[in-house]
Amino acid sequence: MRTIDWVDGAIELVDQTRLPDEYVLLRVETVDELVEAIRRLAVRGAPALGVAGALGVALARGDQEAVARLRAARPTAVNLAWGVDQASAAADPLATALRIRDEDIAACRAMGERGAGLIEGERLRIMTVCNTGGLAAVERGTALGVVQTLHEQGRLAEVYALETRPLLQGARLTTWELGRMGAPHRLVADSAGPYLLARGGVDAVLIGADRIAANGDTANKIGSYALALGAERAGVPFYVVAPESTIDAATPSGDYIEIEDRGTEEIIAIRGVRLAPEGTQALNPAFDVTPHDLITAIVTESRVIRP
């Protein structure tokens, strides 16, 4: 499966808002369609956004205003701006975008192997949040790529996937991917994560990243910080798995990372079914920042970084 690709002069991507009920490919022919797909999370996850940004520059065909709209479609994952900038600076944006796509496939495979080599044990129980699998990249994922490699090595006992409110990337997407892999897993309510760590029975927490600041502070899906605190208290190793392109040397620390707030609607309703009284206002930070001292190691395609 390729989550995103260039097919016959346009972008083709798996519409992730339709999963797990339907597997639908979306054909994106203009930058405005791509911006809309990114905003509603039809395509999402930092590495996939990097490829989308780069391919989008090819779609823009030199329209700089369109490129600027694309770059700003979502603020937290640095890969989107990075992919746009890489392709914009190239003489042939499409060739650069296709290279970024291919490098992502190789990087995810390398992260899977390096991460699996780092974690000790033979019957591993892994906790994760959001979706960091092939759907968040091109073919294989980052943190879930490590899980996939562990499973292929016969070293995976079970995955505890947090459901990841409000948009349920864990419940909808991670379980779908783990099912396709044939990897044993159970879905966990977000609020149960830290308690399950405290109770024992989890060998490692693996998360992805949307932006890693120069000092190692890591922005990732909301709920990551709570897991990091729980893991520290329980003495469970906490790993961030992300490509080098997610490291943003221009951002000194997590204090400088813009956190997307996605507004009230996603919190007060699930898929159009309202939960809270009409008129309720919500806070909806889509990401949080885990301070570097709570991270056991950051695993990229080329190195392991410790605090």
Q: Which is nearer to ligand MRU, 70 or 209 (CB)?
A: 209
Identify which of residues 90 and 259 has a Cβ nearer to ligand MRU in the complex: 259
Beta bridge partners of 274: 269
User: From the CB of 74, what's the least distance to ligand MRU, in Å?
Assistant: 7
3-state secondary structure 146-189: HHHHHHHCCCEEEEEEECCCCCCHHHHHHHHHHHHHCCCEEEEC
Nearer to ligand MRU, 144 or 196 (CB): 144
**What residues have CB less than 8 Å from 290, skipping those under 6 apart?**
207, 217, 218, 220, 224, 225, 228, 238, 240, 254
Do you find a cis peptide bond into 166, omega within 30 degrees of 0? yes
Residue least distant from ligand MRU (Cβ): 208
Cβ nearer to ligand MRU, comparing 89 with 189: 189
- Of how many residues is the chain composed? 307
Smallest gap from Cβ 201 to ligand MRU, in A, equals 23
- Cβ closer to ligand MRU: 44 or 114? 44
Q: How far is the CB of 75 from ligand MRU (least distance, A)?
A: 11
Say how far apart CA 31 and CA 29 lie, in whole Å: 7
The CA-atom distances, in angstroms, between 262 and each of 40, 167, 179, 285 are 10, 10, 29, 7
Strand partners, 213: 248
Which residues contact ligand MRU (rule: CB under 6 A)?
Answer: 41, 44-47, 77, 130, 132, 136-137, 141-142, 169, 208-210, 220-221, 286
Neighbours of 206 (CB within 10 A): 27
Which residues are within 8 A (CB) of 49 and not within 5 positions of it... i.e. 6 or more apart? 38, 43, 74, 77, 79, 80, 83
Question: Catalytic annotation on 210?
Answer: yes
Longest dimension (CA), the chain: 55
Smallest gap from Cβ 39 to ligand MRU, in A, equals 11
Catalytic residue among 104, 190, 210, 248: 210
Q: Which amino acid is at 50?
A: G
Minimum CB distance to ligand MRU, residue 197 (Å): 18
What minimum distance in Å lies between the beta carbon of 121 and ligand MRU? Answer: 23
Backbone angles phi, psi at 56, to 5 degrees: -65, -35
User: Which residues are the active-site residues?
Assistant: 210
